[in-house]
Structure 1
């Protein structure tokens, strides 16, 4: 279900960001609204930026051997990109590229 709150894209040539919510279950209306609110917090106030969100349904939750196989994230995201028909190849990565990611 595409985001009906699409902001008119600026004819002056701004950034248009496609956001995909990857999920293996149907979201309640409230959860969907919470995700839209989160998107607005991150992207809604960006100058000359529009965004649209769509849901990408997957069969099962992504599961990987955290923190021992972080490269599985890259492979998974590359599969999603291919499924969406986006012609992008993610750059080469090493496990250490994930070392500075933190929730602290």
Structure 2
């Protein structure tokens, strides 16, 4: 499957593209697609977009390995998405505390 993207720096963003796009295979027959839209009024919103995307990439890789080692473990699509979001939130909370970040560091639209 070909996935095309036109990700670029916005007109009002001078230094960074504040968005992040991820398309990553999860196991043998699923693809996780996500777009993180940085908030223009936040400070360094490209950081939050990239951080969320990198964590989702990590979760996708882990789920792929889990499918290899636990082939009989089947989860419906809704349950799998819920698990991914819970893992994302858990990772964000850990990183927020570890890096001593405030909520403004994670503003997204």
TM, length-normalised to structure 2: 0.26
Please identify which structure carries the higher helix content: 2
TM, length-normalised to structure 1: 0.26
